[in-house]
């Protein structure tokens, strides 16, 4: 079984299910990402991937969705 990496990020600006979907969709396009769980009420986005992700790629995806990466939780 392959080890999986899980990282939770704090994202500013999410306020609804549509926001969650936008962030999840963009992050899911990063190679290696297996799933994403975004929670607008807490601003937390948990990313599950096959290997550690480049934080610049994560930041770019969140920016593309229209939100701001505040950092890791």
Q: Name the band, by pLDDT with cuts 50, 70 and 90, for residue 43.
A: very high
Phi-psi category of 54—alpha, beta or left, where left has phi over 0 and alpha has psi -120 to 50? Answer: beta
Q: What is the CATH number of the domain that holds 60?
A: 3.30.70.100
Question: Average pLDDT in the 63-73 region?
Answer: 97
Q: Is 62 inside a domain boundary?
A: yes
pTM of the full predicted structure?
0.94
Q: How far apart are CA 60 and CA 73, in angstroms?
A: 18
Q: Is 2 inside a domain boundary?
A: no
Q: Which domain holds residue 63?
A: 16-72
Secondary structure (DSSP) of 12-52: ES--SHHHHHHHHHHHHTSTTEEEEEEETTTTEEEEEESSP
Q: Is 6 inside a domain boundary?
A: no
Q: What count of other Cβ atoms lies within 10 Å of the Cβ of residue 66?
A: 12
Q: Is 11 inside a domain boundary?
A: no
Q: Tell me the β-bridge partners of 10.
A: 44, 71
4-39 pLDDT per residue, tens: 999 999 999 999 999 999 999 999 999 999 999 999
């Amino acid at each position: 079984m392959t080890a999986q990496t899980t990282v939770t990020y704090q994202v500013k600006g999410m306020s609804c299910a549509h926001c969650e979907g936008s962030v999840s969709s963009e992050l899911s396009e990063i190679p290696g990402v297996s799933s994403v769980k975004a929670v607008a009420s807490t601003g937390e986005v948990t990313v599950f991937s096959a290997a550690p992700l480049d934080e610049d790629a994560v930041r770019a995806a969140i920016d593309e969705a229209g939100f701001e990466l505040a950092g890791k939780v």
